[in-house]
């Protein structure tokens, strides 16, 4: 992650300035894997256990499945799964996801005995559950892993209220625990963690990548460009990005995607999708991700340096997701050279979460990308990567 040292010849400033390079807002952490749904593979009227009663438990009432097969809406299943997922994230070096998981209960059994006693009825027995798990990184993609596990739990409680439901929840929890201990799952997730995006730069790129339609995009005025800008989420926080081609290529900062091979993007209309990181250059702090962009309007790129005093606009998601699509206006303050890199300085207002968002000219052309700013000062001293530097770092060219 690049940090731009304060200064830039601004010796007249008498205050101590702090740099913020990762202009990312940090939401609450999410689990590595997300349980999308739980379905039941039992046939209707299929027997799956029994409840016995009487002093010697000789009177048995069979349990038969009468519930739906489409899904279980019990939030306790999701909670149990997420707890196990978070435990895995804390102890294993795996990809940060997000990954989607479906669970299909292929078999379950509850055998319980209800015995009367001096203090009322007591329940004892055991419950078991077989679950087939399917883990994917993108909806419709081939599974990363398909794993079957078994979970068992004892039944030992006073009274019979919610006995069966509680027993099944415990068995599901144990089946989830077995999933996250399964070597096959850990190996699959470690493989995705090791699959890093291709490093960019002239020395490393095998071939230039074309931004489809980028050379023929007609600009729209800045307020009309908001729907081409996305919020981007990784395991550590949130930033911004913008659509740069007709086939779903989005540009953002390297520190916005972090080390995640897959990130989540959210369009201004609330639609969310998964995006795969294709190229990244940590030195210049730029990255390219692929998302489904059909029907979306990409922003035109102009590889020119603006003049000081020129009016510019920034779009992004400052501080929190509810502020997505914030448009701010300012002027170009200067063109700066720092450690061999070129930066646009502007007083346009930005904040943490704007990183990776576009800097537009008055016509709506992208001329830069938000990367950093100086804090602890009343002046807006913010910096943007020029388009020419972005294209060079990622070895991109504008296609017709």
Which CATH number belongs to the domain containing residue 323 in this structure? 2.40.10.120
Which CATH number belongs to the domain containing residue 100 in this structure? 3.40.50
Within the chain, which residues score under 70 in pLDDT? 1-32, 68-73, 87-98, 138-141, 159-160, 191-206, 293-294, 375-378, 400
Pairwise CA distance, residues 170 & 148, whole Å: 17
- Whether the CB-CB separation of 60 and 51 falls below 8 Å is answered with yes
Answer whether residue 168 is part of any domain. Answer: yes
| Domain boundary pick from 193, 217, 247 | 193
Tokens of 53: 């009663």
- Residue 89 pLDDT: 54
On the CB side of 53, how many CA atoms lie within 13 Å of its CA? 8
- Residue 302 pLDDT: 93
Alpha helix positions (H), the chain: 75-91, 163-181, 183-194, 254-257, 387-394
Answer whether residue 3 is part of any domain. Answer: no
| Domain boundary pick from 173, 193, 213 | 193
- Residue 215 pLDDT: 80
Does residue 100 sit in the same domain as residue 119?
A: yes
* Tens of pLDDT, residues 82-98: 888 776 654 555 665 56
**Residue (of 369, 377, 273, 264) closest to 315 by Cα position:** 369
- Residue 7 pLDDT: 36
- Residue 352 pLDDT: 86
- Whether the CB-CB separation of 357 and 346 falls below 8 Å is answered with no
Does residue 183 sit in the same domain as residue 204?
A: no
**Residue (of 235, 221, 269, 285) closest to 3 by Cα position:** 285
Answer whether residue 50 is part of any domain. Answer: yes
Does residue 228 sit in the same domain as residue 361?
A: yes
Pairwise CA distance, residues 354 & 88, whole Å: 31
Which residues does 316 contact at the CB level (< 8 Å), separation at least 6?
A: 229, 239, 240, 326, 350, 353, 354, 355, 356, 357, 370
Domain of residue 117, residue span:
33-193
Answer whether residue 158 is part of any domain. Answer: yes
Does residue 182 sit in the same domain as residue 318?
A: no
Does residue 178 sit in the same domain as residue 208?
A: no
Does residue 232 sit in the same domain as residue 89?
A: no
- Whether the CB-CB separation of 136 and 144 falls below 8 Å is answered with yes
- Residue 70 pLDDT: 56
Does residue 205 sit in the same domain as residue 253?
A: yes
Does residue 188 sit in the same domain as residue 204?
A: no
* pTM value > 0.85: no
């Amino acid at each position: 992650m690049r940090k731009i040292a304060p200064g830039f010849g601004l010796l007249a400033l008498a205050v101590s300035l702090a740099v913020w390079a990762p202009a990312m807002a940090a939401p609450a952490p999410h689990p590595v894997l997300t349980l999308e749904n739980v379905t039941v593979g039992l046939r209707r009227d299929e027997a799956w256990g029994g409840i016995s009663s009487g002093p010697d438990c000789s009177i048995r009432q069979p349990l038969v499945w009468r519930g739906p097969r489409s899904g279980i809406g019990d939030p306790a299943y999701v909670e149990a799964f997420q707890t196990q997922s978070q435990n895995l994230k804390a102890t294993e070096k795996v990809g940060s996801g997000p990954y989607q998981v479906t669970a299909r209960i292929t078999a379950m059994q509850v055998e319980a005995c209800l015995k009367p006693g001096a203090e009322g009825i007591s329940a004892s027995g055991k419950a078991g559950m077989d679950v087939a798990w399917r883990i994917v990184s993108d909806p419709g993609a081939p599974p990363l892993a398909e794993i079957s596990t078994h979970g068992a739990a004892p039944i030992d409680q006073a009274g019979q209220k919610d006995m069966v439901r509680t027993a099944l929840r415990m068995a599901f929890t144990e089946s989830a625990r077995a999933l996250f201990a399964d070597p096959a799952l850990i190996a699959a997730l470690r493989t995705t963690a090791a699959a890093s995006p291709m490093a960019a730069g002239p020395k490393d790129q095998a071939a230039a990548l074309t931004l489809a339609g980028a050379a023929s995009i007609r600009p729209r005025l800045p307020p009309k460009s908001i729907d081409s800008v996305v919020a981007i989420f990784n395991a550590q926080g949130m930033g911004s990005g913008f659509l740069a081609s007709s086939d779903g290529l989005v540009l953002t900062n390297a520190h916005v995607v972090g080390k995640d091979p897959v990130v989540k993007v959210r369009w201004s209309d609330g639609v969310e999708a998964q995006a795969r990181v294709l190229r990244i250059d940590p030195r210049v702090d730029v990255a390219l991700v692929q998302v489904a962009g059909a029907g979306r309007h990409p922003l035109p790129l102009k590889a020119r340096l603006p003049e000081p005093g020129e009016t510019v606009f920034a779009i992004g998601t400052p501080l929190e997701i509810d502020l997505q699509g914030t448009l701010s206006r300012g002027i170009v303050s200067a063109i700066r050279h720092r450690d061999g890199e070129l930066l646009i300085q502007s007083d346009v207002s930005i904040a943490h979460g704007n990183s990776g968002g576009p800097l537009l000219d008055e016509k709506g052309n992208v001329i830069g990308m938000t990367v950093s700013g100086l804090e602890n000062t009343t002046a807006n001293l913010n910096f943007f990567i020029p388009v020419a530097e972005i294209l060079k770092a990622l070895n991109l060219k504008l296609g017709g």
